[in-house]
Amino acid sequence: MYSLRRRDFILGSSTLLMLGISQTAIGQLAAEITPHEKDLYESAKKEGGELTWYTAQSDDITAQALGRSFESLYPSLKVNVLRTTAQVAYQRVTQEIKASAIQCDVFSSTDIGHSVALKARGAFEKFVPDNASKVLDIYKGYDPDGYYFVTSAGLIGIGYNTAKVKEPDAPNNWTNLLDPKWNNNIALGHPGFSGYVGTWALTLRNQYGWEFFEKLAKNNPRVGRSINDTVTMLNAGESSIAGSGPAGTLLQSAQKGNPLALSYPADGTVLIIAPSSIMKGCKHPATARLFMEFLLSARASQIWANHFNESIRPEVSPHEGAISAKDIKVIRPTVEQITRGVPEVIKQWRETFGV
- What's the pLDDT at 69? 97
Mapped onto helix, strand or coil, the DSSP state of residue 182 is helix
pTM for the model stands at 0.86
Does 170 reside within a domain?
yes
| Burial state string for 186-208 with b = 16 or more CB within 10 A and e = fewer than 16 | bbbbbbbbbbbbbbbbbbbbeeb
- Beta carbons within 10 angstroms of residue 102's beta carbon: 17
Q: With respect to residue 3, please indicate whether it lies within any of the assigned structural domains.
A: no
The CATH number of the domain where 265 resides is what?
3.40.190.10
Residues 6+ apart with CB under 8 A from 201: 191, 213, 244, 345, 349
Is 7 a member of any domain? Answer: no
Verify that 347 and 236 share a domain, yes or no. Answer: yes
Residue 260 lies in a domain: yes
Tell me, yes or no, whether 198 and 78 share the same domain: no
How sure is the predictor about 32, in pLDDT bands with cuts at 50, 70 and 90?
Answer: low
280, 265: one domain: no
Together in a domain, 347 and 217: yes
Q: Give a yes or no: residue 2 inside a domain.
A: no
pLDDT tens digits, residue range 182-216?
999 999 999 999 999 999 999 999 999 999 999 99
Question: Contact, 145 vs 322, CB < 8 A?
Answer: no
AA letter at 202: L
Range of the domain at 68: 13-153+273-324
Q: Are residues 242 and 252 in the same domain?
A: yes
Mean pLDDT score across all residues of the chain: 91
Residues 25 and 49 in one domain: yes
Shared-domain flag, residues 319 and 332: no
Are 258 and 187 in the same domain? yes
Q: Say whether both 166 and 54 belong to one domain.
A: no
Are 286 and 337 members of one domain? no
Question: What's the total number of domains in the chain?
Answer: 2
